[in-house]
Amino acid sequence: MILFKDVNKSYGRDIALKDGDLALDKGKIIGILGPNGSGKSTSLKMIAGLVRPDKGKVTIDGEEVTRQIAHKVAYLTELDVYYEALTVIDMINFYHSQFSDFSMEKAEKLLMFMNLEKNKKIKDLSKGNRGRLKLVQALSRNAAYILLDEPFSGLDPMVRDSIVTSLINFVDFGNQTIIIATHEIDEVESLLDEVVLIKNGNFIAHKNVEEIREKEGLSIKEWLISKLKE
C-alpha cells in the first residue's frame, strides 16, 4: 500500500501539494487525473523518492520513501532524456546493470512487440519510438509498483495503442500495481480500476471506476469534468 499522510510540497510560492492524504491499494491500475500543473507529476515523484515532502510522510508497504525505494518502484518520467550516442540495446543493458529485478527476457519480448531495432542509435529514433523505449525500460522490471508519468504526451495514436496493449500483455497484475498520471483520459479509461482526482495541489476525490459508471452513470471523462467544475 502507498500512503500519503499530511503531505505538503511547494516550489517557492507555488504549491504542488497541500495537506495530502491518500491511500492506494496493491494490485490495481490507478489513474491520477487532473489538469496540467495540478500536482500529478509531483505526486509520482514523491512515490518514486525523487522529491521529498516539505511536511508529512509518504510510505510504501510501511517503508518511508527515500531514494532507496527504487528497489520497489519503476518510474517512467515524462521527460525525453537519453544519451544520444547509445543504441537501444545499450540502454537496455544499462538498465539491466542498475536494477536487479530487470528481466532481459521480458525486455526482449517488449522490444520485439514494439518493433524497436536493437542496434539503432537513440538519436535516430522517432519521438514515438523513444516513447516506446521508455516503456520497455519500465515494464521490463518486476517491481511491485510501476509509475507512468504522462506516458501518452505528444505521441501519435498508433504509439498510444501500443502502450495500452503492452500494459495489458506485459504486466503481472497479481504482483504489480500500475499508477498512471495523465490528463488524457480517453487512452486509459478502459484500463483503470480506480481514479484519484487532483486539483490545485489537492486530492479532491478517490473513486472506484465501476462505482462511477454504475452508481453515477458517468464515464470517467464525464465524472472528471463534473468534479472540476465544482
- Reported as a single tens digit per residue, the pLDDT across 17-45 is 999 999 999 989 999 998 888 899 999 99
pLDDT at 168: 83
Let me know: does 2 contact 24? Beta carbons within 8 Å: yes
Let me know: does 218 contact 212? Beta carbons within 8 Å: yes
pLDDT at 160: 82
Per-residue H/E/C for 160-188 = HHHHHHHHHHHCCCCCCEEEEEECCHHHH
Where does the pLDDT of residue 117 fall: very low under 50, low under 70, confident under 90, or very high at 90 and above?
very high
More confidently predicted of 110 and 229: 110
Above 90 in pLDDT, residue 55?
yes
φ, ψ (nearest 5 deg) of residue 53: -65, 150
Above 80 in pLDDT, residue 230?
no
Let me know: does 218 contact 188? Beta carbons within 8 Å: no
Above 80 in pLDDT, residue 140?
yes
| Burial of residue 65 (number of CB atoms within 10 Å: 0-12, 13-18, 19+) | buried
Average pLDDT, the chain: 91
Let me know: does 109 contact 122? Beta carbons within 8 Å: no
Mean pLDDT of 117-136: 92
Fold adopted by 2-229: Rossmann fold (3.40.50)
pLDDT at 154: 72
**Cα 180–Cα 183–Cα 187 angle in degrees, nearest 5:** 70
Which residues touch 180 (CB under 8 Å, ≥6 apart)? 29, 30, 31, 32, 148, 151, 188, 191, 192
- Model confidence pLDDT, tens digit, residues 155-212: 788 888 888 888 888 888 888 999 999 887 887 888 899 999 999 999 999 999 999 9
Where does the pLDDT of residue 138 fall: very low under 50, low under 70, confident under 90, or very high at 90 and above?
very high
CA 199 to CA 38: how far, in whole Å? 5
How many beta carbons lie within 10 A of that of residue 175, not counting itself?
Answer: 11
- Domain extents in the chain: 2-229
CA 124 to CA 86: how far, in whole Å? 10
- Model confidence pLDDT, tens digit, residues 68-102: 898 899 999 988 888 889 999 999 999 999 999 99
CA 185 to CA 198: how far, in whole Å? 14
pLDDT at 18: 95
Let me know: does 113 contact 169? Beta carbons within 8 Å: yes
